[in-house]
Amino acid sequence: MNLHPLLPDLTGPDLAIAWAPLEALSGDPHPEEWEDIASAAPNRQKEFVAGRQLARALSDQLGLPPATLRRAEDRAPIWPIDRTGSLSHCDTLCAAAVGKRGTVQSIGVDVETIGRVEQKLWPTLFTEKEADYFSSLAPNTVALETTLFFSAKEAFYKCQYPLTQKWVGLQDVEITRTDHHSLAIAPTRGAAQAWHAAPIHTVEIVESHVATVMLLPV
């Protein structure tokens, strides 16, 4: 399996992050995992299997024992007690992160196709301040930046959900750029919590796709 590491400066013996083409992640799912998607559409089954294959490969890298990765009623992966992680997929790619539970409290990863966030969607996806920022950018940078901001909100949601078990709307948080490779997030109402404090790391993984990662150490 040809995996492509993501953010190697963040990873090590306790954390692995990578992406791979969906086509490279085909295989036979564990029978118990298959129960969770046996009635799903073929494309959804393909994405589900790809995520589990990638998570399994990353767990192997960390020396973690084989384990099934079932799906909860809220569709979130049920990570084994010795690890935590996050999965994401888009049209052609899959990304995953797996961390040892004693080192990584929670992690969120998201992968997106650049250009899918059209301007007509801005009022739904972004705050007024975020939209004003996009309007100030050079036209040739808007598609990348809007994709990264949307992806960052997805990564944040995945990172905070295991800790809060709460749904967070896209207008409930606001993203700001801190430097070329990271973003910050803050709530638009109420006080900031510990899960708002970590940076969201950004990376262009290929010319047409980006990924974002939010990590909360123990």
pLDDT of residue 53: 96
Residues recorded for the chain: 218
Residue pair 105/218 in contact (Cβ under 8 Å)? The answer is: yes
Mean per-residue pLDDT, 83-105: 97
Percent of the chain residues past pLDDT 70, beyond the cut: 100
| Complete domains list, the chain, with CATH | 4-109 (3.90.470.20), 114-201 (no CATH)
Query: Is the pTM value of this prediction over 0.85?
Result: yes
pLDDT of residue 26: 85
